[in-house]
Amino acid sequence: MYSSMNELFEIAFNSASEGLVVVDSSSEIILVNKRLLELFGYQKEELIGQRIEKLVPMPKRSSHVGYRDQYMDNPHSRPMGKTGMYLEGERKDGVVFPIEVSLNYFQMNDSRYVMGLVTDITKRVEMELELKKAQDNLEKLNEELETLVVKRTRALEESQVLYQSIASNFPDGVINVVDQNMVCIFVDGMGLEKQGLKKSELKGKIYLDRFNDQTKLILENAFKRVVNGESQICFIENADQYYEVHFVSIPSSSRQRKRYLVVERNVTKQKLIEIEQAKALQKEKELGEMKSRFVSMASHEFRTPLSAILSSSSLIEKYDKTEQQENRLKHTSRIKSSVGNLTDILNDFLSFEKLNENKVEVSHEKLNMCELVQYAVEELESHRKNNQRIEFIKGEKPCVIYSDAKILKNVLLNLLSNGLKYSGNEGVVNVDFEISNGTLFLSVADNGIGIPDKDQKHLFERFHRAENVSNIQGTGLGLNIVKKYTELLGGKISFESELDKGTTFYIEIPTNE
C-alpha cells in the first residue's frame, strides 16, 4: 500500500504542468519534476543535492541566500505574484527568463521541507512589455494630440482674429472662408448689410445657397478651377450690385482640412462708370454716324431746292415784258416752294438737334386747340399741290386744353405737311381732334401713297424713309421728331396705313386740366 501511494505521488508530481522543486531545511534540492527540468534544461542528477541558488541568476545568488534563510526562519505559504518582486531563473545554458514562484512548507519526521511551484512567465512578460509599450505610445500620442489641439485652437483663434481684422477694414464687401464642400467656416464684412444678410445665418451653410441659379453656376465653375490649383476672379451681379469675386486656396498642413478664401469686392461704382462710358462711346459712335448721314443727306436735300431757286431766278430775268407776267408768277411760285422745302429741312435739323441734346423744355399753358389747328392749316397754304386741301371741321367741340403750344404746333405742321407731301394732286388731308377724360385725341389722315408693310416697323427711326418715297424730298427725321415731341408731352403715337390708300396717325396727349 505504501509503495502504491509512493508511485501515485510520483506520477502526480511529474505530471504537473508547472515546475516543482522540493528543498530541505538547508536549501538543498531533494526532489524535482520533469517540467522543472524542462524549464531549466538540467538532468535530474545535475540538480539533486544542489543548493536552490543553482537555479537563480548568478548576479542574484548571494542576495538570494539571505532571502532564503529569512524565509526558513519564518516559513509561511506564499502564493504566486505576492512577493512584489520581479523574479528570474537561469537556465543551464545561462539564459535568464522571468518566473513566478509560490512557496509552501511542510514537516515530515521532524524535518522541515519547502516546495516551490515555478511558472515560466516569459510570454506574459512579453505581452506586458508590449502592452506597456503600447500604453506609452498611446500616452505619447495623447500628449501630441493635446499639443496639436492647443496649436490648432490657437491657430484657429489667430485665423479668426485675422479674418475679422480684414473684414472690419474691408469697407464694401464680404470675406468668406469655405471648406472643400463650400461650407462657410467664416463670413464677415461690411457688405453683408447691403445684401440684407447676417453672418450668424450664413456660418455653417453652403456658400452658393444665397445666389440665384445663374450666379451659382459662375461661382461653382470658378471654385472647381481653384480646387485644381488655380486662382480665380469672376464678376457677378447680386441684389442690383456688382461684385468682383476672388477665389484663393489657403495653405494648410496635411492634418488640416482644406480651406479657401472667397473675397467679394463691391465694384458697383466702377461698373456703373464703365456702363456710362460704354453708353457715351456708343452715343458718340451714333453721333458720328448721324453726322455722316446728315452731311450726305443735307448735301442732297439742299441741292435740289437751291438748284430750282437758281434756275427760276435766272429765268425771271428774261421775262421783262408785261405779257410775260404769268411766266414770272410760275417761277416765283417755284422759288417760294423751294424756300419752303429748305425751311422744312432746317426746321427738322434744328428740332432734331434740340431733342437729341435734351434742350427742349416743356411749358404747359392754356391754349385753344381749334385756333392752333387753323393756324397750322393756313401756314401750309404754300405747300399744297394742285387742288390739294386740308379739311378741318371745327363744329361745337370744346377747344381749350393745357399743354405746350409750340410743341403741338410742330407736331401738327409735321404731320400735315407729310400728308400733303405723300398725297397726289387733288389729295385731301383730314385733321380732327377730340378732348375727353383729360386726354386730347388728335388724328391726321391722308389718302396718299401709304406705307409698305416692311417699312412700318421702322417708321419712327431717324433717317428712315420708306422704299416708295425715294423720289419725294425729305430728311427722314420728321416722324422721329413727332414721336419724341409726343413723348415729351406724356403722350403716345400710333398709325394705320394701307399701300396706295393712305395713312392715318393717332396721337393721345394728356390735357393737364
Q: Flag the least confident range among 71-75, 329-333, 463-467.
A: 329-333
Q: Indicate the pTM of the whole model.
A: 0.42
Question: Considering the domain 2-120 in this protein, what is its CATH number?
Answer: 3.30.450.20
Whether 163 has a pLDDT exceeding 70, the answer reads: no
Whether 3 has a pLDDT exceeding 80, the answer reads: no
Question: Which is higher by pLDDT, 409 or 161?
Answer: 409
Cell of 327: 411766266
Which pLDDT belongs to residue 382? 74
Beta bridge partners of 331: none
For residues 3-32, average pLDDT: 80
Tens of pLDDT, residue by residue over 94-103, are: 999 999 888 8
Q: Which helix (H) or strand (E) holds 367?
A: strand 365-368
User: In terms of C-beta distances under 8 Å and separation of at least 24 residues, what long-range contacts does 219-225 make, across chains too?
Assistant: 219/245, 222/247, 223/182, 223/247, 223/260, 223/262
Which pLDDT belongs to residue 442? 92
Q: Are 459 and 483 in contact (CB under 8 A)?
A: no
For residues 199-218, average pLDDT: 87
- Report how far residue 196's alpha carbon sits from residue 140's, in angstroms, rounded to the nearest whole number: 50
Which pLDDT belongs to residue 344? 59
**Fold designation for 361-513:** Heat Shock Protein 90 (3.30.565)
Whether 122 has a pLDDT exceeding 80, the answer reads: yes
Question: Which is higher by pLDDT, 32 or 149?
Answer: 32
Question: Which is higher by pLDDT, 41 or 253?
Answer: 41
Using 50, 70 and 90 to split pLDDT, how confident is the model at 188?
confident
For residues 492-498, average pLDDT: 93
Whether 84 has a pLDDT exceeding 90, the answer reads: no
Cβ neighbours of 477 (radius 10 Å): 23
Tens of pLDDT, residue by residue over 466-493, are: 887 767 766 677 788 889 889 988 999 9
Which pLDDT belongs to residue 257? 67
Residue 417: exposed, middle, or buried by beta-carbon count in 10 A (0-12, 13-18, 19+)? buried
Using 50, 70 and 90 to split pLDDT, how confident is the model at 10?
confident
**Would you say the CATH fold of 361-513 matches that of 170-266?**
no
Residue 312 DSSP class: H
- Report how far residue 211's alpha carbon sits from residue 264's, in angstroms, rounded to the nearest whole number: 13
Tens of pLDDT, residue by residue over 316-366, are: 766 767 666 777 776 676 676 666 656 656 666 566 666 666 767 888 889
Which pLDDT belongs to residue 439? 92
Q: Are 52 and 66 in contact (CB under 8 A)?
A: no
As a whole number of Å, the CA-based R_g of the chain is: 59
Q: Flag the least confident range among 243-257, 279-293, 418-432.
A: 279-293
- Report how far residue 231's alpha carbon sits from residue 220's, in angstroms, rounded to the nearest whole number: 13
Tens of pLDDT, residue by residue over 389-429, are: 999 887 778 889 999 888 888 889 889 888 888 888 888 99
Using 50, 70 and 90 to split pLDDT, how confident is the model at 503?
very high
272-359: CATH, from 1.10.287.130, 3.40.50.300, 1.10.260.40, 3.30.9.10? 1.10.287.130
- Report how far residue 150's alpha carbon sits from residue 107's, in angstroms, rounded to the nearest whole number: 67
Mean pLDDT of the chain: 80
Q: Flag the least confident range among 37-46, 73-82, 244-253, 440-449.
A: 73-82
For residues 298-307, average pLDDT: 56
Question: Considering the domain 170-266 in this protein, what is its CATH number?
Answer: 3.30.450.20
One-letter amino acid identity for 30?
A: I
Using 50, 70 and 90 to split pLDDT, how confident is the model at 432?
very high
Q: Tell me the domain boundaries of the chain.
A: 2-120, 170-266, 272-359, 361-513
